Structure 1
């Protein structure tokens, strides 16, 4: 195919644009009622644009509901770009914007006209093909006599051939064999051990580490070219091993270069105050309210993943033997071994609160997709970021030109042991859900309030796409579950500004969207602990520890994880420039003054009273440990 072509199936118009062509999509409404254009395209990752009009405003350009842009532009690509366009309308004022995206509102007919460069045009005249799509909304039996047909909406897809070379850009030169695999793309995890340790004998440790651990490190190169089959599969003998070291450990190794990150230097205990963790101040020293075993000098962590417990346990046994250098002495001391695994059965993709996550991790081209292991982005809609946002020394790392040579290809890792107070969360929903939604059954009201706090229903359906109920057609479709923008005209009716999902990935709440890329982190989390017992559900609250072991990666803790917690989760004014003060993330937010009865709050929990403030007198998540480590073990 050398030129753009179109096909029509009912009212769906598909346009295929060959490599090297620029495309611009615009839409004009001719009517006073509500209309919507759904434009899906794939230029390396599937994207969705929704153009909508305003009630009683005919003969104007329709605007992208995510950013108010009057057009969609797609630059020349090295591969063909596929467009799919669908058209909707409703004469009911309240059915507008993204709510029109349903079969019952589809337009009735389309007529596609084509205009292209005349055969006699001068050679220097740009080559182009324009598709003019004329839309007729109403069926034939509702046509107004004497009125022209196909005059309700006009959509134009203008394609122009690039006059320059269309050679595909070279694949970036990432040193994937020197990047640990859990940083990117992520270790496969049917279970995971978190082995925190203290170094007792530096020289003996370095010797054993080089001989036993380094050869077993699982790299990004391995996982992008020859990964094991997806878990769970207990018969697979795969073992994943990664390692990280704290600032204290680097001092022991004599690696004193400035890594340009104050949070890494301060260490996990002292930095926790800035995050809002509970604790006690004694002069300049901060003692967080963590589990006692973590309040020691931690020098490092081993991440160990496997498909069955026997493989992981055998590795730990062999590892401890390797670090033993006399009959009674080891070069390391185990601080704590925390074991995590996905929940069982139907809850395998969900956290202990019951909500599915992990769909919006930022993606890196040629590492997390467009690789032999993963051709496309699994969940379109995820931001595509430069690798340097996550890995030091590459484009996207604001300090890439200042990095010590040995630190290049490394990443900062933050781990958090977050106890999930599930019975308390469920009790809150059962108490307050019926107050917000008094006209539906108690359980349904609790589920709906929970969905608004998280921004997703338990099955992963975004409330932005389905505010009233989970939608299996969305949650079961990897291409839809994360592929959306927030309808800025809808306020908090569909999704509260402070919901956890919206705080974690503001999408088009911040423009330009790329301005927040430097803050993104990769999150590779793992649940731990047992299921909630009947005794706990019977009004007794949390008895057994359970929660989420959070693992975050970025080339900066200050710009990444710490920024998330301080400037997004804990900040009442984020997302910015909203008609109501959003409030704090109801799940992950912290005031740092809960002991003084200063509690989290948010607006928008009630979609019919968006300014109403909801307060959360109890925590749903209780941090019990944090560790900041550098993932770059090949040189000590």
Structure 2
């Protein structure tokens, strides 16, 4: 299949990403599978799902508007351009009769097992779901998770998510309402202005979450530029990497059934991608207080004009405006380095410019690894309001004014993508590997931003450069990011939505039920 055809088959948030200043996550539970299939099929056939080609066209319109505005010397008008994508948890596919949790039973039936081998989506973590993965075998604390992300009476509450995006809040509200209405209105009850809500709807929405870009566009709540260093995909991204920038990766690291995907997925999964949504609460006043309290405990910041900002930059690996500390460890004033990716952490046996455990080095080790074998595309958006004057004065977050990041990413294998980043890299004191000779026996340390530890684990800490060889400086860390839960999904292609997923079930309800 040509890439032109693929762009019309791929959902647009995977690539190139849906343009968005505002986003609503409609987490749904399927109540009436057969009727849902009928409505979903007609919704998709009517162009209700935004494709990659649609998203490319949207971005071209935005660029044209900006170019025209620059010529006229006026601000560019915000383009409405709403988008909609859909993804399913394993329980959602099971509700459609397209996934079974009862592999042992299926194997005893020759006919059912043949269907299983042909059509079952591979990937154990997808079937397990985020709660069982990161609570049962990971480091999430159940008491900190939202109730909707926790099983109730052994049943997961979320079957899928409809994601609605827009550049204006009024457009988002309108589009989100239209999407909800489509699936909850009484059959034959009229158009968008005359419909009636069904007393027995096809879907219910146990959780609706909202994201929005901050006033400081592009920055997450800790104040750092977000979304930098996305992987370039062979065949899709036309920009060639320069200098030390990371090489383009095979599309199979993001898309199922593409070159580089080793999961042997069923044919219907082609052009789809596994989606991870994870809500991360950020304790911003506490983060700023810790930086202020510890700015003089970092040897490398002693001679800095702004030791607090230098400490923050070394924890993340970039200054707040996006300047990489590997390219400029002294300050963030060179505009040519804002959002730069032209670095690789060489020499990799030293961390005098960028700490081994800095967030961006943990998440993309570059020169520390020969190849990018674990790759995700991020489509995150902030949620919640700005820090209030009262919170600043108290240096403490108000529970009633929660803020954070709706972390969103895509990959062809959750275990080798999000899960690998979270457990093998971010939370591993000894990654990057083989650094003990340069940073001491305790290793590089934990990712200061997203690394996780439980109460019985060793304290959080990070090794820091101090001019010695090996370095001896080490600083204890507080916890500023609290996982509030999430789920694993699969974002299917347009073809799969029109045909396989809205077709007859593969399994009877008894075999599909978890």
Which TM-score bucket, shorter chain as reference? Answer: 0.7 to 0.9
* 2:484 match: secondary structure: strand
State whether residues 281 and 481 of structure 2, in contact with CA within 8 Å, keep that contact through their aligned partners in structure 1: yes
Picking from 50, 55, 59, the partner of 1:218 is: 50
Is 1:248 matched up with 2:79?
A: no
Structure 1 pair 443–482 and aligned structure 2 pair: CA distance change class (3 A): same
Report which of the two structures shows the higher radius of gyration computed on alpha carbons.
1
Q: 1:338 aligns with which of 178, 191, 209?
A: 209
Asked if 1:470 is matched to 2:325, the reply is no
Q: Does 1:238 align with 2:97?
A: no
Q: Using the alignment, how far apart are the partners of 1:568 and 1:237 within structure 2?
A: 39
Match of 2:318 among 438, 456, 478: 456
Displacement of 1:355:
0.7
> Normalising by structure 2, what TM-score?
0.80
- State the SS of the aligned residue for 1:305: strand
**1:557, CA displacement in angstroms?**
0.2
TM-score, structure 1 as length reference: 0.65
Deviations 1:421-472 (A, max 9, x none): 1111111111111222598599821111111000011111111111121133
Distance 1:267 1:601, change over 3 A: same
**1 or 2, which has the higher helix percentage?**
2
Q: Does 1:206 align with 2:32?
A: no
| Helix, strand or coil at the partner of 2:184 | coil
Alpha-carbon distance between aligned partners in 1 of 2:15 and 2:449, rounded to the nearest angstrom: 26
Calculate the aligned-residue CA RMSD, in Å.
2.6
CA shift at 1:474, angstroms? 3.2
1:302 and 2:162 matched: yes
Residues 214 and 220 in structure 2, CA contact (< 8 A), matched pair in contact too: yes
Cα distance, 1:439–1:184 mapped onto 2, change above 3 Å: closer
Of 220, 223, 246, 1:354 maps to 223
User: How far off is 1:176 after superposition?
Assistant: 1.9
Q: Write the mapping of 1:9-28 to structure 2, written as runs, cut at 5 A.
A: none
CA contact (8 A) 1:277 1:288 kept: no
Give the alignment partner of residue 614 of structure 1, picking from 470, 475, 479.
475
Is the CA contact 1:467–1:494 (under 8 Å) kept in the aligned structure 2? yes
Q: Which of 119, 122, 126 is matched with 1:264 structurally?
A: 126
Provide closer, same or farther for how the CA distance between residues 615 and 390 of structure 1 changes in structure 2, counting only shifts above 3 A: same
Q: 1:272–1:288: 8 Å Cα contact kept in structure 2? A: no
Cα separation, 1, equivalents of 2:302 and 2:473: 20
1:307-386 aligned at under 5 Å gives the runs 307-326=167-186, 327-344=198-215, 347-367=216-236, 369-370=237-238, 381-386=245-250
CA-CA distance at 1:387 after TM superposition: 0.6
Cα displacement (A) at 1:612: 2.2
Query: Which deviates further from its counterpart, 483-492 or 299-308?
Result: 483-492
> Alpha-carbon deviation of 1:525?
0.8
Equivalent in the alignment of 2:460? 600
Higher relative contact order (CA 8 A, sep 6+): 2
Counterparts of 1:332 and 1:392, CA distance in 2: 27
* 8 Å contact kept, 2:277–2:407: yes
In the alignment, structure 1 residue 507 sits paired with structure 2 residue 362: no
Structure 1: runs of 5+ lacking an equivalent: 1-169, 280-286
State the SS of the aligned residue for 1:447: helix
Relative to structure 1, is the Cα distance of residues 390 and 263 closer, same or farther in structure 2, using a 3 angstrom cutoff?
A: same
Please state how far the C-alpha of 1:353 moved relative to its aligned partner.
Answer: 0.3
1:630–1:199 CA distance, 2 compared to 1 (3 A)? same
Q: Distance in 1 between matches of 2:301 and 2:143?
A: 44
Secondary structure of the corresponding residue to residue 258 of structure 2: coil
Would the alpha carbon gap of residues 453 and 509 (structure 1) be closer, same or farther in structure 2, given more than 3 Å must change?
Answer: same
Alpha-carbon distance in structure 2 between the residues aligned to 1:439 and 1:509: 25
Q: Work out the CA distance in 2 between the residues paired with 1:378 and 1:348.
A: 26
Runs of 5+ unmatched residues, structure 2 = 67-74, 100-118, 152-156, 187-197, 502-514
**1:414-429 alignment to 2 at 5 Å?**
414-429=276-291
Residues 564 and 597 of structure 1, relative CA distance in 2, 3 Å threshold:
closer
- Between 1:249-258 and 1:544-553, the stretch displaced more is 249-258
Question: For residue 113 of structure 1, what is the aligned residue in structure 2?
Answer: none
Residues 546-605 of structure 1, C-alpha deviations (whole Å, 9 max, x = no match): 1111101000001111001111101112111222211111111002x13x4743211126
Aligned CA distance change for structure 1 residues 318 and 606 (closer, same or farther; 3 Å): same
Determine helix, strand or coil for the equivalent of 2:297.
helix
| 1:28-86 CA distance string (max 9 Å, x none) | xxxxxxxxxxxxxxxxxxxxxxxxxxxxxxxxxxxxxxxxxxxxxxxxxxxxxxxxxxx
1:516-555 residue CA offsets vs partner (Å, 9 max, x unmatched):
x231110111011111111111134111211111101000
The match for 2:261 is 397
- C-alpha change, 1:408 and 1:489, in structure 2 (3 Å) is closer
Q: Residue 471 of structure 1 aligns to a residue in which SS?
A: coil
Aligned length in residues: 441
Tell me the secondary structure at the aligned position of residue 365 of structure 1: coil
Q: What secondary structure sits across from 1:415 in the alignment?
A: strand
CA distance in 2, matches of 1:295, 1:384: 37
Q: Which residue of 2 aligns with 1:80?
A: none
Change (3 A) 1:559 1:539: same
Change (3 A) 1:424 1:432: same
Match of 2:414 in 1: 557
1:590 aligns with 2:421: no
| Aligned mate of 1:631, from 491, 495, 499 | 491
* TM superposition shift of 1:365: 3.0
Q: Call closer, same or farther: CA 1:383–1:627 in 2, change over 3 Å.
A: farther
Q: Cα deviation per residue 1:72-130 (whole Å; 9 max; x = unaligned)?
A: xxxxxxxxxxxxxxxxxxxxxxxxxxxxxxxxxxxxxxxxxxxxxxxxxxxxxxxxxxx
Assess, with a 3 A threshold, how the Cα gap between structure 1 residues 235 and 451 changes in structure 2: closer, same or farther: closer
What is the rounded CA distance, in whole Å, between the counterparts of 2:143 and 2:77 in structure 1? 39
Provide closer, same or farther for how the CA distance between residues 496 and 310 of structure 1 changes in structure 2, counting only shifts above 3 A: same
State the match for 2:72 in structure 1: none
1:445 is aligned to 2:307: yes
Partner of 2:296, secondary structure, is helix
Summarize the Cα distance change of 1:555–1:470 in structure 2 as closer, same or farther, 3 Å threshold. same
Please name the residue that 1:100 is paired with.
none
Aligned equivalents of 1:199, 1:507: Cα separation in 2: 42
2:406 is paired with a residue of what secondary structure? strand
Residues 571, 452 of structure 1: CA spacing in aligned structure 2 closer, same or farther, 3 A cutoff? Answer: same
Is the strand fraction higher in 1 or 2?
1
Matched, 1:497 2:352: no
